[in-house]
Structure 1
Amino acid sequence: MIFIKLNKENNSTYIYQQIYEELKKGILGQKMISNEKLPSKRNLAEQLNVSINSVSNAYEQLLAEGYIYTIERKGYYVENITEFINQQDTVKPNLPSDLKEHASHKEGWLSLSHMTADVSMFPFKEWLKCQNKAVKNHKQELSEIAHPQGPYIVRETIARMIALTRGVMCEPEQIVIGTGTQPLIRQLMDVQRNDTRVAIENPGYFRIYQLLKSMNYDVSPAPLDEKGININKVEEIDPNFLFITPSHQFPTGIIMPISRRIELLNWAALSNDRYIVEDDYDSEFKYGTDNIPSLQSLDRNQRVIYTGTFSKTLLPGFRISYMVLPPNLLRVYKKYYSSWIQGSNSFTLYTLHYFIKSEAYARHIKRMNHHYEMKRKNLIKQLRLRFQDGITIKNIPAGLHFLAEFKTERGYEEIEARAKQEQLEIYTIKRFMLKGVTEYNKLELVIGFASIQNEDINEAVDRLYRIMK
């Protein structure tokens, strides 16, 4: 006889589930030996005063999971199951405290982050209209696995757009769509030689630096001068891949002049194993001037790999980025990734296609350029009024952030701690220094203004003043 305790008043669990759990516990706990015959469904149902269906469902689940086996016309038997080593009483492990996460509560916080967008201005109604078009016109495609580089029609639309707005010269076949710049760079670098040398701007994009280091590449941070990355240092390092942000250097904001662009392109053209990776992350936003053409638009030797993203212009949560590969690298890419499953959401990509095609995207960019320009001016004005001669702002009219230098006796760690107390999200230059950071009587912040609302700017500046004083 099998002793099973059922709680028939428990409405949250079916009877068959209770029988299943009790039998499973007995089998795993070695209370029921291997090859032991179980009671017939009828006998166990009578013993427990339940329906035969309840017992039958429990047996079938145990059979499906391999806890028991059946012999035709003889019944059900306990399977010979290997005993757990160091079996604990509880199935649920205790997660170490250093791995635990806590839901973030941002109530009361204000943000001067460079990584966000202004969701209050996003044209959701127009986006939803484009979603409806995607459903209407692409039902079949949505039921299939997309091309490894993304749907051709979407790549075609992106190719046309960046040709018009950034001067990028490419065919749709050269575009690879991904869920972010990091995953795309990982794909690109995964197929390179182990002895590949890499150089990256310092200060620069720490996530890419960290990624390349984790892939065991020889990565050298290269310093900046007033024109962007230092060409003499680049020649000294002699990298195979050079990562730069020429249209709006991250995080200093420097716009690389034509003289330095030509120097870099000439340097890359002198060897067949030199490439420049151009990260054009927020080039859509220029204030008071036209857009600066991309470095790729000047390249006549297929040495530039262009990367762009919709995280700044749309919403970061959409996770849509892309890179444009020169033909020789495209051939290598196709060889290694012909079986790759495209990670981006096809529904979102087709929606983006119609959002661009309908010119809703262009209207959105125009609207956001004006909105961000006004917000940026207001923030800079309030910072100067509050800090007077205690602040120096590198006022380069581009992008969604600017660099500000503060006179203060406080160090970076203290400033970061005080910012938490004031519930103000800030990022110091320390985060982006790939090698070394100086701490004198000044401190630099990378100040973003995309998500801060105009009505909160004065309060954010007041909090920042209290942090620095």
Structure 2
Amino acid sequence: MLTYELRREGAGTLQGQLYAFIRADVESGVIAAGERLPSRRALARHLGVSVITVEGAYGQLVAEGYLESRERRGFFAADIPRAPAYGVVGVGAQCSSGVPVKPLSDAVPAAGSTAGGGANASAARSASLEAHGGSGSGGAKKGKNTLLTCTDGASRAISSIENITFSSPAPSRAFAAGFSGPAPSRGPEAGFSSPAPSRELVADFSGATAGEGLFPYAAWARTIRRVLADESERTLLAASGPRGSLALRRAIADHLRGFRGMVVDPAQIVVGAGAQALYHLLVLLLGRSRRFAVEDPGYPRLAATYRAEGVSVAPVALDAEGPSLSALRASGASVLHCMPSHQFPTGLVTPAPRRYELLAWAVEEPGRYLVEDDYDCEFRMAGRPLPSLQSIDGAERVIYLNTFTKSLGAAFRIGYMVLPPHLARAFARDLGFHACTVGALEQAALARFIESGDYERHVNRTRARSRRVRDALLDALRATPAADRLAFEHVDAGLHFVLHVRGMDARGQEDLVARALSRSVRMAPLASYALGSAADPSLTGRFLMAYGSVQEQNVAAAARVIGDECG
């Protein structure tokens, strides 16, 4: 019988503690792969907690892939791959020093506790980054990265990043490679634009339109007024440097630590005017001679942007757990852009075993990277947010990317990426001539918006509102005459789910889209997001249901249209 000491005060919720204990035991092999766990009632009785507490912990562990639920048999430990030891390297350098993957139990704190040790951990990490600093050269030859050694998730022996400036007239090999490669593709990209109907839409489930009344105008206007009153003209007119203002990067680092369990130094963060600006910088940093793998089906604008930057793009098929490892290896790519916490458009959540396999792929060859796109992580509707790939990466192979577009609206073009320390040093040295693409006033306002708690309150309100819309939509669809043909997939991971209309062929799919649009409801088939030469037949009859922009008062009418046209 599993025995854990659960504290009722000062250590987070009982469910969070139990979840963390079991997860750590599965990761370490204390609970062997395939081992059956106690029943919910038996474990609850043994630990002196409620059955609901055990159910919640087991449910989250199943969602993350640590446990498997087998009907009428119970819960069993999943087989978590043991990642090989590997080193921390510069761009294209050879691995040498052995460092294990950081376990997820180190990445995310128990519910209710401060992630990463709170302010003390952040201060310790900042001190470590600065204490091992130098002039920026670090004794390395110009154009190459010094070998970096990762000792744990909170302290790394790296050179000071903040003080590195662009001073070398000779760019590094990786940077120079950024100006060579194939010409950009100008081929058409389906799925990221749709013709506007002649009348106003009742509902747009494609995610192509922004919802009205969602931006926190009053709070944002108040923040702008305070910034203008408090900050000097010199501060607001001064250039913020290539990575963005330190105040905003500190605010983002604190947000990531509290919400995602990520312990990062502000010097690792680069701010840009939306995701596309960051993709451009990534290509310059890593080089155009590389091949970038993207998920298929996926976001067509992403593939188009990379092609426009002049890099070779390889669509990689998805299986039931995320990017297919066999397809990834066959692609010849050295960079994988993936969305492990909520894939667009399928809604897939990559479980823990596959996450470790992706990290293992990244260290099989020198110079491989994972670009983790965490675009709507704030809007998980049930359970804890799954730990990010970045938080379990012990070899500096994950580049974390996110934007404020989903939370603050499509017109709010501010995003950021978290670079591994060795890439942050390369960015400061080789791309330091770039100006930050976000204005100083916007950066100061967003920093204040996050620090004041207004951003968190806005996200919480938006999540609650979105949950109401989702629940009302699911209930309304289940009440239609076509309910027996409808199935709903991945409903909890973010601001969209997948509607599966059973028995629908390609012709029926096209007809449904046309008929629904004629009644002012825009539908988006998953097949339209296929990036390969042909869509996977399993996508037929499946539709993206991005409900974030749908008004609550229009839910019933939209569901009625879908039910009528599917019947």
Q: Give TM-score scaled by structure 1 length.
A: 0.73
1:230 aligns with 2:230: no
For 1:388 and 1:402, locate their aligned partners in 2 and report how far apart those are by CA, in whole Å: 16
Q: Please, which of 121, 136, 142 is the counterpart of residue 229 of structure 2?
A: 136
Q: Find out whether 1:320 has 2:414 as its counterpart.
A: yes
Pairing partner for 1:111 from 204, 213, 236: 204
**Structure 1 position 295 matched with structure 2 position 393:** no
How big is the shift at 1:426? 2.5
Distance 1:267 1:376 in 2: 36
1:434 Cα deviation (Å)? Answer: 0.8
User: Aligned with 1:222: secondary structure?
Assistant: strand
- CA drift at 1:466: 4.3
Who is 2:22 aligned against? none
> 1:240-292 CA distances to partner (integer Å, 9 max, x unpaired)?
10110001111111111111111111221233310000000001112220111
Match of 1:420 among 517, 523, 527: 517
What displacement does 1:316 show? 1.5
Structure 1 CA distance for aligned equivalents of residues 511 and 241 of structure 2: 49
C-alpha distance in 2 between matches for 1:441 and 1:150: 41
* CA separation of 1:440 and 1:411: change in aligned 2, threshold 3 A: farther
Name the aligned partner's letter for residue 398 of structure 1: A
Aligned to 2:527: 430
Partner Cα separation in structure 1 for residue 246 and residue 197 of structure 2: 39
**In structure 1, distance between residues paired with 2:234 and 2:538:** 62
Residue 271 in structure 1 maps to residue 370 in structure 2:
no
Question: Does the 8 Å contact 2:203/2:551 carry over to 1?
Answer: no
Structure 1 residues 429 and 440, CA gap change in structure 2 (3 angstroms):
closer
Contact kept in structure 2, 1:116 and 1:312, CA below 8 Å: no
Task: Tell me the percent identity.
Answer: 32
1:458 aligns with 2:551: no
Q: Is the 8 A contact 2:201 2:522 kept in 1?
A: no
Shift of 1:319: 0.7
Distance 1:292 1:107, change over 3 A: same
Which residue number corresponds to residue 447 of structure 1? 545
2:348 corresponds to which residue?
A: 254
Aligned match of 1:124: 217
Residue among 417, 429, 434 paired with 1:340: 434
- Structure 1 residue 332 displacement after superposition: 3.0
Between 1:181-190 and 1:114-123, the stretch displaced more is 114-123
Q: Are 2:202 and 2:558, in contact at CA under 8 Å, matched by a contact in 1? A: no
Displacement, 1:394?
Answer: 0.4
Question: Against the structure 1 CA distance between its residues 115 and 176, is the aligned structure 2 distance closer, same or farther, given a 3 Å change threshold?
Answer: farther
Tell me the C-alpha RMSD between the 2 structures.
Answer: 2.3
1:396 corresponds to 2:473:
no
Question: 1:283 is matched with which residue: 374, 377, 402?
Answer: 377
SS in 2 for 1:146: coil
1:93: which partner in 2?
Answer: none
Counterparts in 2 of 1:439 and 1:416: CA distance versus 1, 3 Å: farther
Structure 1 residues 349-358 or 323-332, which shifts more? 323-332
Residue 196, structure 1, aligned to residue 283, structure 2: no
The CA distance in 1 between the partners of 2:539 and 2:281, in whole Å, is 42
The letter of the residue matching 1:252 is T
Cα distance in 2 for partners of 1:129, 1:381 equals 38
Counterpart of 1:59 in structure 2 is none
**Structure 1 residues 200-209 or 227-236, which shifts more?**
227-236
For each residue in 1:292-349, what CA deviation from the matched residue of structure 2 results, as whole angstroms up to 9, or x when unmatched? 1111000111100000111111122111111111122223323443222222232222
Residues 244 and 270 in structure 2, CA contact (< 8 A), matched pair in contact too: yes
> Match for residue 372 of structure 1?
466
The normalised TM-score by structure 2 is: 0.61
> Structure 1: how far apart are the matches of 2:332 and 2:196?
45
CA distance in 2, matches of 1:245, 1:451: 21
Aligned-partner Cα distance in 2 for 1:251–1:133: 39
Per-residue deviation at 1:441? 11
Q: How much does 1:159 deviate?
A: 1.0
Letter of the 2:222 counterpart: K
Partners of 1:341 and 1:431 in 2: CA distance: 37
Deviation, 1:168, is 2.2
Q: 3-state DSSP class of the match of 1:316?
A: coil
Is 1:405 paired with 2:505? no
Residue 11 of structure 1 aligns with which residue?
A: none
**Change in CA separation of 1:119 and 1:107 when aligned onto 2, cut-off 3 Å:** closer
2:33 corresponds in structure 1 to none
User: Which amino acid is 1:173 matched to?
Assistant: A
Q: CA deviation at 1:194?
A: 3.8
Name the stretch that deviates more: 292-301 or 333-342. 333-342
Between the aligned partners of 2:206 and 2:562, the Cα distance in structure 1 is 13
Which range is displaced more, 255-264 or 437-446? 437-446
Contact 1:119 / 1:315 at 8 angstroms: preserved in 2?
no
1:139-150 to 2 correspondences below 5 Å: 139-150=233-244
Which structure is larger by alpha-carbon Rg, 1 or 2? 1
Structure 1 portions without partners, runs of 5+: 1-101
> 1:353-402 CA deviation, whole Å, 9 max, x = no partner?
11111111111222222221121111111112212122121043121000
Q: Answer whether contact 2:527 2:539 (CA < 8 A) is retained.
A: no
Whether contact under 8 Å (2:321, 2:348) holds in the other structure is yes
SS at match of 1:460: helix
Pair 241,441 (structure 1): closer, same or farther in 2 beyond 3 Å: closer
